[in-house]
Amino acid sequence: MAKVSSTPNNPAFAVLNGIKKVIRDCGVEPGMINLVLHGTTVATNALLEQRAAITALLTTEGFRDILSIGRQNRPHLYDFRALKPPPLIPRRHTYEVKERMLYNGEIMTPLDETQVAETAALLRRKGIFSVAVSLLHAYKNPRHEVRIKEIFKIKHPGALVTLSSEIMPEFREYERTCTTAINALVRPKIDFYLESLETGLKESGINGNLLVMHSGGGVLTAARARTESARTVFSGPAGGVLAGAGISREAASGNVITLDMGGTSTDICLIRKGAPGYTSEGEIGGYPLRLPMIDIHTIGAGGGSIAWLDSGGALRVGPSSAGASPGPACYGLGGTEPTVTDANLLLGRINRFTPLGDKKNLDLELAGSAIAEKIAKPLGIEPGAAAKGILTVVNANMARAVRVASIQRGHDLREYTLMAFGGAGPLHGAALARELGMPQVIIPRFPGVTSALGMLQADVRLDFSRTYIDCLEDVTPAILERYYGVMEREGKENLLHDGFNDSQIILNRSADLRYAGQSCEITLPVPGGTLARPDLDRVRASFHLVHKQQYGWGREDSKIELVNLRLAAVGKLTKTFNPPVHEGSVMPEPSCFRKVYFSQYVNTPVYRREDLAPGFALRGPAVVEQEDATVLIFGGMSVECDREGNLIIKTEVR
């Protein structure tokens, strides 16, 4: 395990620095490394920080305003002042193409290839090198989109062209166009980033394959990630969910809510019976992203979240973050805004004398000054009280997000364990669980790199979909078999090209279904092999049952409508790594005592995580420190170390 500073100008440098540090510290030869698994937030940050590439959109004549019109739903139903986010691609960069495809795939108006060639030449002169193409009903017949791409290769060969029929061949024009636009917006950055990373790995003597985590909980080859870049938008947090699922099956009866709190955001996912939820109706920054992904709820709450006072004088925390540069005030890198990390340091919860990665010791005076100047003095309170308020507010924000992902979906939090990880999660996990009425918290052995460990459980996964709308009762199994067969052949060919053999390939079918007249769907598995009517009858029965579980009602006399057919093509990777549990003691001596604020300042024992052996147990208050995180245990709580090295905190909530 290694922890190094981020390099915002080119995040690849930080990844390479971390790998070099591991190689140096462990005495590993670069040539011994044959596989690199990587999760990244480059695409996420590019969208949220509005630093994506300048992109052009080509759409069917008469549909230039599709991104501006969007859907009728508002961000907040009863807030008449709520504003929708601006179009992903502005109107001035949207170009109409003379063509028209009907809903059944028939060509009504042929493609005007001369107009397309002129548009390609215009974009080349303007220096726009990323292009999204989303034509009406292209999911049914992609011929015109494919031809546009061919013309661009001739007239604008440097352009990166994203086709809606390749990235999301499904109906619903707005969502399909948004997803295509997102891919085009982030593709140049991901392409440059992964090229830099691959070059750096080779220069370091590492010739192993680079695989990139994607939002669906699998990994992609770097080459595929460079073209299907939108699939990496939730790449970073997906690995943490896989780790949570694995640990939940061993230590929490399968029911876990993961809380991955880093420097900028907190990612929350509900895992039931060892399996996380999946969705094809995700969004980022208010924009729909209709690709299969793990159902992760993200909020702007992290160690670097900035505390501020609103116009009414109320204390707020986030979503703005100090980031890695300049970072929290206590880093001493020029930051002046008070953050969650500054508050934790001021209250003694973080050791000021422990270097943070490759940074110098944290500066308590700078943290106190930032909180005093920006929060305490305007409110007329002491800096310590202001710091306590900052932590109370950020915990309330995260507790609200956990409730959205659980209680509001009908889940009882008393049946779940909170798994807190990330660099900041273990500091807040116990307080959050107590506030939420959750009986137990799990802190993994390596909280700061839990997402990286989770990636070691991933397989290569390719997702395919086709829109096919018909009543389930009326469709013939042979038609569905034909659609699934096309996707299965495509998935298998891609995995064989990536180096897998037949024994390593698994093909999983599923379908989106709804009651006739509904506008939202439920995704259910579909049996493999040659489909027969009894298979579809079982799918029908499953839909009624799941619909009743999710919504509290079902209509068994109503017709069920098929909407989208889906296929996940999985290439199984070898999984041989188990993180070691350090040899320690079941009765270690504290490394020191430190005054830590709980409801008051308490002289608190501090333990080193590496000194704790399976079987270690004590009652709080206590602090457990390690290189990548700090664990806080409140008075009245108990903690023990299980056989895998996880810390299990009992909150004593009844």
Between the alpha carbon of residue 588 and those of residues 151, 389, 592, 612, 627, the distances in Å are 70, 34, 12, 7, 18
- Burial label for 115, CB within 10 Å (0-12, 13-18, 19+), is middle
How many C-beta atoms lie closer than 10 Å to residue 325's C-beta? 14
Question: Given phi > 0 = left and psi -120 to 50 = alpha, else beta, which region is 318?
Answer: left
Decide: pTM greater than 0.85. Answer: yes
Which pLDDT value is given to residue 377? 96
Which pLDDT value is given to residue 367? 95
3 state SS of 486: helix
Which pLDDT value is given to residue 581? 65
Could you report the per-residue pLDDT of 585-601, keeping only the tens digit for each?
A: 888 999 999 999 998 99
The helix-helix angle for 143-155 and 113-126 (nearest 10°) equals: 50
Q: CA-CA distance, 207 to 37, in Å (whole number)? A: 13
Q: CA-CA distance, 87 to 542, in Å (whole number)? A: 39
Which token pair is 383? 């800096």
What residue spans define the domains of the chain? 305-393, 463-483+499-569, 592-641
Phi then psi for 292, rounded to 5 degrees? -60, 130
Q: What secondary structure, in 3-state letters, does 329-397 show? A: HHHCCCCCCCEHHHHHHHCCCCCCCCCCCCCCCCCHHHHHHHHHHHHHHHHCCCHHHHHHHHHHHHHHH
Which pLDDT value is given to residue 358? 53
Which token pair is 512? 């989106």
For the chain, which residues score pLDDT lower than 50? none
**Closest residue by Cα to residue 2 from 421, 324, 17:** 17
Q: Tell me, what amino acid is at 508?
A: N
Which pLDDT value is given to residue 578? 67
Q: CA-CA distance, 111 to 114, in Å (whole number)? A: 9
